[in-house]
A and B are shown apart, each in its own frame.
Chain A
Amino acid sequence: MTTAIEITDLTKTFGPVTALDQLTMVVATGDIHGFLGPNGSGKSTTIRVLLGLLRADSGTARLLGGDPWRDAPVLHRRLAYVPGDVNLWPNLTGGEAIDLIGRARGGLDRNRKRDLIELFDLDPRKRGRSYSKGNRQKVALIAALASPVELLLLDEPTSGLDPLMERVFTDLLRSEASEGRTVLLSSHILSEVEALCDRVSIIKAGRIVESGTLSELRHLHRTEVVADLDGDVPADLSARPGLHNVEIDGSRFRAQVDDDALSALLATLGEVGVTALTSNPPSLEELFLAHYDTSPVPGQEMGPHTSDRARSPRHAGRRVSA
């Protein structure tokens, strides 16, 4: 496996504040790597160090085989960056900004620019100051995607985009990745990361707390099973090993299930007869909350987050109704 990004023990402080605390992380070439964390956890700082905009206090970072601080201008010909909070030159039009950024990187593909403008439905003749937040974001995305680069560093790239444009972006990013580009996608929108990313790193207070493929991360966690049965739920289920937080309400059963207890449970439920079954693998949200929430068991009170989960295509096919 070749690596596009390799960060070891990276520390960065701003005065008394430690933004990155011995952060270690690897992004493989060709991957879409999700970089998850809430606001202020150090995502943008990490990306800024990778861009040579900030100088690390200690630790090492390698980017496309080079030193992100020393070799910045040379490396930047091979990558594109979309900041989370895009601020454009008020007097330049969107089209001018796209050309300026693309040319300063070393050239952009004019046809590609035209196609992207059409795809994102952007008016490139408007001035920077008159664009809405979403349109500013589009300008930055087009400028980034219009150049044939090896690596895309995207810092919350869909903030401000409407769902339609988010979809356009998601599709584009997939096709970028299929052409062998590496993407580091920082986000706090879990469904986005879940839908796109091969691997995920979760950052908390300047440290990576989890990193791996989605399935690897899921193994560390439990699946939630909800079933409506034909008859009463067998009483012994509440004491069975591998099952947690079991709730039984007449013919309704709900529990958190360890992966190795799953087959036995399904067999037992099948004997009684199942009318409806829902099984949710832990979403990133739950992995995320497992690290950020104060409650130790994930998946119970999802509250406002469920809408994100409903949008995730991974859950769409899981609902089985008899």
Chain B
Amino acid sequence: MTTLSLPGRPWWSPMSQSGIGATTAIAWRRSRLYWVLWVLALLTLMPLTVTKYHDLVPPGSSPEQLMATLGSNPTMRAILGVPHDLSTAGGFTMWRVGAFTGWTAAFVAAFGVIRGTRADEEEGRTELVRSGAVGRHAILGGSLLVTMVATLVLGVLIALSMVGAGTPAKGSLAAGLGVTAISWVFAGVAAVCAQVFESARSARSWAAGIVLGGLFLVRAVLDGSSSVRVQAWRWLIPLEWPQLVRPYADERWWVLLLPMVLSFLLIGVAFSLESRRDFGSGLRATRLGRADAAPGLGDAAGLARRLHRTGVIGWSLGVLVFSYGMGSIGSQIDAMLANNPQVAEMMAKLGGTGELKNAFYIAMLGIMVTVVSLAAVQFLSRLHAEELTGHAEVLASTATSRWALARSHLGIALVVPVVLALASGVLVPLAEAAKLGRWSMIGDYLGAAAVLLPGLLLVLGIAMALLGWAPRWFSLAWVAVGWSMFCSWLAPLFGLPEWLIDLQPWGHLPRLPSDPLDLVPVIIETVIAVVLLAGGLVGFRRRDLLSR
């Protein structure tokens, strides 16, 4: 390794940060809309939930009962985290949307840092700035500064708005600073990833996908578990820290030190990595590759397989491990319910009409199908990206028809997620089926996954139709999935009408095996999805290919 011991300036030296004023101004100018919109969006959730507290939790219901029914429901815990005190509006809000706000802010911070650093460097914009009187670390410094100040503002505004909504000041401050602190951790994670990887795409996949997404899945498994021993591991998961501060529930202020220290460590690592690498490259020197292509790389389909290889492996591992992990937790529910018949009764009401475990498995399967549809949109978005970078133009000028070009990415976006959704249907009940020797369960949940597939197809149909007819609006496909997540996580808080909440890809599909199998919505939605897919393909063949 070439650890250059040339008299390079350390990152804390003022010279290496010279020009940080200018780079901060540039970073702010380029990302101010991004930050203003996200801060406003994330700011609303918590105070809004406080105002809804009395609708959601009728006065007079006993706090113990509330904790028992909501707080020990493994489905709710896996999705939202472990509650500390649901008897006050503040404590309830922290559990219901507080952690979610922190996780989203962490995601936004990670993307914010990468877009200002590696993405610009890859596009060649950084080179112009760096050629000015600007220190080696000033761009990363400026981008981190904007991200950290923006998330600090977000935290302070959340604290103020929570005080304004009538919750105790101490808890409000702890909740707000928790959001800030977890954002800083992921700003640090993203800063490190932006140094390690040469492409912004890889940096994003690692920071937001593998690290944040992976930790989220581990967190869900830990939080869903009812074993105290398992829950001790929560301390190792940074995403848990904002809740472990216990806002509104006898605050433990020192816990805030954990994310603060970790974020500064990560930022230090990022700067020292930046000293060790060349401009434009990653940490690893790029190795030489093959002089000739492998036999499989000879057409659009071969190229798509190659481009999606890493993504397919990553998504598959995540989905398969999470499905099996959540399924194992589900099969421990009996142990917990045995000591608490009151909870058992309440949970049956909450989770649906079927038995409790079914409710849990159905919820997990629903999450997995939504996650898998994100993968589908991401795979198809590559077709759009290939067009914008001019790669598609190169292939389209060979004997590659538009149809072959579209099919190469659409095929993967269709097949891999469908297989993963079905695999999730097998893996979620697997632990329980093995424990009871009731293998028919697997067939039941495979069927349950199958009737959710039209939602996945509809998302892909929307994405393909946009790509065919309004490619500039392709990001609306993400909105379709985002809306679905919003509906299942947050819509009840806003008191939206039922029909609007159901107006999402999975809103009308039956939840087997609790619901009766109603094929009408399944068929109608499949038809709509196929029409959109076909229409999108026709549009893609008819329109001008975009170019750089």
Known: A90-B198, A95-B293. A73 touches B400 (CB 8 A): yes
B401 A125 Cβ-Cβ under 8 A: no
Q: A129: which of B198, B292, B299 is its contact (CB, 8 Å)?
A: B198
List which A88-132 residues lie within 8 A (CB) of chain B. Answer: 88-93, 95-96, 98-101, 103-106, 123-127, 129-130
Name which of A88, A91, A125 has the most chain B CB atoms within 10 A of its CB: A91
Closest-CB distance, A144 to chain B (whole angstroms):
10
List which B490-513 residues lie within 8 A (CB) of chain A. Answer: none
| In the assembled complex, B288 has its CB within 8 A of some CB on chain A | yes
Known: A76-B399, A104-B300, A104-B398. A93 touches B545 (CB 8 A): no
> Which of A46-54, A223-231, A271-279 lies on the face that meets chain B?
A46-54
- New A-B pairs, 4, CB < 8 Å, besides A91-B306, A103-B293: A53-B396, A76-B399, A93-B289, A105-B399
List which A197-230 residues lie within 8 A (CB) of chain B. Answer: none
List which B517-548 residues lie within 8 A (CB) of chain A. Answer: 542-545, 547-548
A104 B399 Cβ-Cβ under 8 A: yes
Name which of B290, B291, B391, B404 has the most chain A CB atoms within 10 A of its CB: B291
Question: With the chains together, A89 CA to B305 CA distance in Å?
Answer: 13
Question: With the chains together, A103 CA to B400 CA distance in Å?
Answer: 10
A96 B307 Cβ-Cβ under 8 A: no
Interface of A is mostly: mixed
Name which of B303, B306, B394, B544 has the most chain A CB atoms within 10 A of its CB: B394
B399 A90 Cβ-Cβ under 8 A: no
- Of chain B, the residue at the smallest CB distance from A44 is B547
Chain B residues near A124 (CB, 8 Å)?
Answer: 291-292
A-B contact pairs, 5 of them (CB 8 A): A72-B396, A76-B400, A96-B294, A104-B400, A140-B394
Q: How many residues of A contact B (CB 8 A)?
A: 43
Mark B260-300 against chain A: 1 for CB-CB distance below 8 A, else 0.
Answer: 00000000000000000000010000101111111001111
Known: A81-B397, A104-B299, A129-B198. A87 touches B544 (CB 8 A): no
Name which of B299, B394, B397 has the most chain A CB atoms within 10 A of its CB: B397
Q: A85: which of B398, B542, B548 is its contact (CB, 8 Å)?
A: B548
Chain B residues near A89 (CB, 8 Å)?
Answer: 303, 307, 391
| In the assembled complex, A55 has its CB within 8 A of some CB on chain B | yes
Closest-CB distance, B404 to chain A (whole angstroms):
8
| In the assembled complex, A252 has its CB within 8 A of some CB on chain B | no
Chain B residues near A77 (CB, 8 Å)?
Answer: 399
| In the assembled complex, B21 has its CB within 8 A of some CB on chain A | no
Question: How many B residues are at the interface, by size bracket?
Answer: 35 or more
Question: With the chains together, A105 CA to B401 CA distance in Å?
Answer: 11
| In the assembled complex, A148 has its CB within 8 A of some CB on chain B | no
A100 B298 Cβ-Cβ under 8 A: yes
Q: Which residues of B contact A (CB under 8 A)?
A: 122, 198-199, 281, 286, 288-294, 297-300, 302-303, 306-307, 389-391, 393-402, 404, 542-545, 547-548
Question: With the chains together, A48 CA to B392 CA distance in Å?
Answer: 13
Chain B residues near A140 (CB, 8 Å)?
Answer: 394
B401 A87 Cβ-Cβ under 8 A: no
Closest-CB distance, A81 to chain B (whole angstroms):
4
Chain A residues near B293 (CB, 8 Å)?
Answer: 92, 95-96, 98-100, 103
Closest-CB distance, A145 to chain B (whole angstroms):
14
A83 B399 Cβ-Cβ under 8 A: no
Closest-CB distance, B496 to chain A (whole angstroms):
38
Known: A48-B547, A53-B544, A85-B390. A99 touches B397 (CB 8 A): no
Chain A residues near B389 (CB, 8 Å)?
Answer: 87
Closest-CB distance, B515 to chain A (whole angstroms):
45
Closest-CB distance, A63 to chain B (whole angstroms):
12
Chain A residues near B398 (CB, 8 Å)?
Answer: 76, 101, 104-106
| In the assembled complex, A74 has its CB within 8 A of some CB on chain B | yes
Question: With the chains together, A57 CA to B432 CA distance in Å?
Answer: 62
A106 B399 Cβ-Cβ under 8 A: yes
Closest-CB distance, A127 to chain B (whole angstroms):
5
- Of chain B, the residue at the smallest CB distance from A123 is B288
Question: With the chains together, A212 CA to B9 CA distance in Å?
Answer: 62
Chain B residues near A129 (CB, 8 Å)?
Answer: 122, 198-199, 286
Question: With the chains together, A98 CA to B281 CA distance in Å?
Answer: 23
Known: A53-B545, A54-B544, A74-B399. A87 touches B390 (CB 8 A): yes
- Of chain A, the residue at the smallest CB distance from B282 is A129
Chain A residues near B289 (CB, 8 Å)?
Answer: 92-93, 95-96, 125-127
Question: With the chains together, A93 CA to B300 CA distance in Å?
Answer: 16
Chain A residues near B395 (CB, 8 Å)?
Answer: 101, 104
Q: B199: which of A76, A79, A90, A100 is its contact (CB, 8 Å)?
A: A90
The 10 closest A-B pairs by CB, nearest first: A99-B293, A103-B298, A93-B289, A104-B398, A125-B288, A81-B397, A95-B291, A96-B293, A105-B398, A73-B401
Known: A103-B293, A129-B199. A83 touches B543 (CB 8 A): no
Closest-CB distance, B127 to chain A (whole angstroms):
13
- Of chain A, the residue at the smallest CB distance from B199 is A90
Closest-CB distance, B486 to chain A (whole angstroms):
34
Question: With the chains together, A254 CA to B399 CA distance in Å?
Answer: 56
Question: With the chains together, A129 CA to B399 CA distance in Å?
Answer: 25
- Of chain B, the residue at the smallest CB distance from A103 is B298
Q: B303: which of A74, A95, A100, A105 is its contact (CB, 8 Å)?
A: A100
Closest-CB distance, A256 to chain B (whole angstroms):
42
B544 A96 Cβ-Cβ under 8 A: no
Question: With the chains together, A195 CA to B47 CA distance in Å?
Answer: 73
Mark A133-165 against chain B: 1 for CB-CB distance below 8 A, else 0.
Answer: 000000010000000000001000000000000
Question: With the chains together, A52 CA to B542 CA distance in Å?
Answer: 10
Question: With the chains together, A91 CA to B306 CA distance in Å?
Answer: 9
Question: With the chains together, A140 CA to B395 CA distance in Å?
Answer: 12
Question: With the chains together, A153 CA to B297 CA distance in Å?
Answer: 24
Closest-CB distance, A82 to chain B (whole angstroms):
9
Q: A73: which of B297, B399, B547 is its contact (CB, 8 Å)?
A: B399
Chain B residues near A51 (CB, 8 Å)?
Answer: 396-397
B290 A96 Cβ-Cβ under 8 A: yes
Closest-CB distance, B109 to chain A (whole angstroms):
26
Question: With the chains together, A99 CA to B399 CA distance in Å?
Answer: 14
List which A14-70 residues lie within 8 A (CB) of chain B. Answer: 48, 51-55
- Of chain B, the residue at the smallest CB distance from A52 is B396
- Of chain A, the residue at the smallest CB distance from B403 is A73
A53 B401 Cβ-Cβ under 8 A: no
B393 A53 Cβ-Cβ under 8 A: yes
